[in-house]
Amino acid sequence: AAADGLGSIAIDTTQLNMSVTDPTAWATAMNNLGMVPVGLAGQQLVTDSICVPGFDPSLSMMTGITPINPMIPGMGLVPPPPPTDVPVVKEIIHCKSCTLFPPNPNLPPPSTRERPPGCKTVFVGGLPENATEEIIQEVFEQCGDITAIRKSKKNFCHIRFAEEFMVDKAIYLSGYRMRLGSSTDKKDSGRLHVDFAQARDDFYEWECKQRMLAREERHRRKMEEDRLRPPSPPAIMHYSEHEAALLAEKLKDDSKFSEAITVLLTWIERGEVNRRSANQFYSMVQSANSHVRRLMNEKAAHEQEMEQAKETFKNALTGILTQFEQIVAVFNASTRQKAWDHFSKAQRKNIDIWRKHSEELRNAHSEQLMGIRREEEMEMSDDDSGDNPSKKLRVDDSALAAQAYALKEENDSLRWQLDAYRNEVELLKQEKGQLFRTEESLTKDQQLQFLQQTMQGMQQQLLSIQEELNNKKSELEQAKEEQTHTQAMLKVLQEQLKSAKELAEINGHDESQANEINVLTVALVNQDREKNSEKRSPGLKSEKEALLIGIISTFLHVHPFGANIEYLWSYMQQLDSRISANEIEMLLMRLPRMFKQEFTGVGATLEKRWKFCAFEGIKTI
């Protein structure tokens, strides 16, 4: 962006002239400064800012300097930094109202302070006493678009540009001697010193840009996390007789068994099993148990497939090993003297390398095949040892134990089923004894109770909302009163400031006395505001406000000269991003014994600052 901005700056041909007659000097200026030479005596060298038809290519041969390409970005008053191996040659710059003379090239370059982040403002010192704001703008507008010029009476000014890269072009003019017209008066000349300036506006814009980039980065990371996050599992429906009947059908289907068993497990863990639904859950558990035999059959089928794959792999490995043996036999036959003598030295070397490699591969495959055969022999020996009578007795005992355990489980299940039937009979008896209370009336009573509870909750919410609305209305009225009071006091202060300035001009007082008058009037306004705020300032509403007051008190205590509300808000934003500057200011205005507001400066430099004054209030009590 900086390069595009540099390339987009155009030069007014009526404001910049160079008195150069030597082509070597012209080439040096073009190479080092990137300036378009305009108004030269004789033939015009540059017709426009794009093409240079009158440029002689033989200049590069005479001067040893590569001719500059006019299409590169940066063809303006100040060029991009030149290579380190080429010395910078600064030329005289002619403007309408003044002339800039370059510094002595043997002197060291002017010193500059460390560049602040997002710097768009420069300090220009050493201006001639008779230099006007129009002359300053005429000189520095060639570096880029100027948004503001703040000139002082002491021969310096601050210039704010539209972009950051324009500051680098302005820094290039540091060290030039500026002369107004052709006058030799001391007040019409001065040596410019251009340096980086630290401005709150620049830093604030830089911070906003950084925050925007941080938000974009957080959004990008969140989108990436959301994209990589695994999908959430499907929601489990609540238990009902209809859903239980559907689930029982799904449990019998092999394709839907995995999904159905998850729902059944969730229902059981939720505690949906009771006397009424025990039989239904038992039937579903029984359906889940019926899949055990299917899973065992699938396992056996997979084991059979694995055995077939092993057999296929063993046969393929045997065939590969046979082919390796044949290849090794070919290499061994080639190494016999009858055929070996007819090969060249390089061919013998290659055949020897191939033979060794083939033998290594053959041995590795042979060991792998022997390992497979040893495993089969061990499995066969295990099967033979299983025919021992002692092992048969152990197997028979374990089978009997398994049968006894299965019979015991079946007996327990029958007992539980009998208990479930008994519970159902008791429930039917209770329902017959309460015929006057039908199921429809029960549901109506439940719906009525639910509606009553809902109405009570809505009434409570409505009351709380009305209380909040009343509180907000009272706060809004207080804020309006404070605003009108502040506006009235501001008008009084402006009138006092005008009268103080007139008195200072008449009596010859300096700005310090005007500041003292301003501070005294602000102190009187603050006292009046403290009295009014003490009357209507309520107590703390929540623990959050107490925490905010503690943090703000600590922050202002370590800043004895006070801090403006933007600085304080930027600090609090790091702790709580949802807090606003309005909320902080209202909290400070509610506590006049702890915090006071003062105005510093005069005119355009007028600034509001908050100070911590709780210790002063304790001493006066």
For residue 78, which phi and psi values (nearest 5 degrees)? -115, 130
Name which residue leads in pLDDT, 537 or 542.
Answer: 542
Interval 454-463 mean pLDDT:
85
Please state which of the four CATH numbers 1.20.1260.10, 3.90.1150.10, 1.10.10.10, 1.25.60.10 is assigned to the domain occupying 543-617: 1.10.10.10
**pLDDT above 70 covers what percent of the chain?**
75
Q: What is the mean pLDDT of the chain?
A: 77
Q: Are 24 and 67 in contact (CB under 8 A)?
A: no
Angle formed by the axes of helices 257-270 and 241-252, nearest 10°:
140
Beta strands across the sheet bearing 193-196:
146-151, 156-161, 121-125, 193-196
Count the neighbouring beta carbons within 10 Å of the beta carbon of residue 47: 10
Q: What one-character-per-residue DSSP string does 539-553 give?
A: ---SHHHHHHHHHHH
Residue 541 confidence (pLDDT): 67
Residue 40 confidence (pLDDT): 37
Interval 292-315 mean pLDDT:
90
**pLDDT above 90 covers what percent of the chain?**
16
| Residue 163 structure tokens | 């972009």
| Span of 45-59, 127-141, 335-349 with lowest mean pLDDT | 45-59
Q: Is the dihedral of CA 262, 263, 264, 269 positive or negative?
A: positive
| Spatial distance between the Cα atoms of 462 and 457, rounded to a whole number of angstroms | 9
pLDDT at 525 over 60: no
Interval 507-516 mean pLDDT:
54
Name which residue leads in pLDDT, 304 or 233.
Answer: 304
- The reply to whether CATH 2.60.120.960 applies to domain 91-224 is no
* Cα-based distances in Å from 611 to 3, 526, 554, 588, 589: 46, 12, 11, 10, 12
